[in-house]
Copies of this chain bind each other. A is one copy, B any other.
Amino acid sequence: MSVSVTVPAASPLAAPVRTVFFVSDGTGITAETFGHSVLSQFELRFKQFRLPFIDTMDKARDAVNRINETFEREGNRPIVFSTLVNAEMSELVRKSNGMHMDLIKTFVDPLEQELGVKSTHTIGRNHNITDSEEYKNRIEAINFSLAHDDGQTNKNLDGADVILVGVSRSGKTPTSLYLAMQYGIKAANYPLIPEDFERGKLPGGLLEFKHKIFGLTIAPDRLAEVRNERRPGSKYAAIENCRYEINEAESMMHREGIRWMSSTTKSIEEIAATILQEIKVEKRFY
């Protein structure tokens, strides 16, 4: 998934060069997230399958069969990202006709040495994670961010970790939800609308929380594109209107001394990571 390439990785024309399996005794999210990062290094298409919850020898054998069948059909070794912790199951999968990338053995074994303790062999399981403080914080943050989406309420804003502002469709909502879901950050968000620009003031009730406000802006042509998908041909989506709103929003943020960034070419993950760095909330501490 990268750019500046002649044949983009996701080109619908290119045939997948290789099949990839994400094998895990848990959700497979770790194997998949990590595998995607590694595969994104290659300008190739991959056919990808998740094999989660592989927690018995029978299921491990099924996984091996799928890997081997793929090898026979395609004539190339499938690539296998594995977070299997159980040694016996892991060994079984390792002996398949896949190229085995064992995330556990590679990193957990050296860490056991370094830390001088044995690992618990439960990777990805997260048993009873739902009882942990961190998990409860995440759920609470999701509820908070949902309740405070799009300026729905001014209640409990003192509990917010960050308050995002920006014009409609600048990326506030997905970013707020991502901050909550991934990092347990309580993120409220407020649209900046023409009425605010006419008054020349931030939406009511926000002033006292200015230190927590973070602005999102976006290039007018990109904004027009996004808004046109929603309401084609509307005044709302017209490039002149987008230019006006962005210009006013940026002036207001500048005037009020609000930190801000452009979301134009950034993914939700990148916007969220940038905001996190700026607001310096450090909630996670295990």
Interface, chain A (partner B; CB < 8 A): 1-5, 9-10, 16-18, 26-30, 33-34, 37-50, 52-53, 77, 79, 83, 85, 99, 101, 103-104, 106-108, 110-111, 114-115, 117, 119-130, 132-135, 138-139, 142-143, 146, 149, 173-174, 177-178, 181-182, 264-270, 272-274, 276-277, 282, 284-286
Contacts and interface: CB of A to CB of B under 8 A. Distances in A.
B17 A108 contact: no
- One complex includes copies of this chain to the number of 2
A48 B285 contact: yes
Given A34-B34, A122-B40, A27 B177 contact: no
A233 to B, nearest CB: 20
Contacts of A4: 127
B277 A53 contact: yes
B173 A41 contact: no
A43 B120 contact: yes
A173 B140 CA distance: 12
Contacts of A37: 30, 83, 103, 123-124
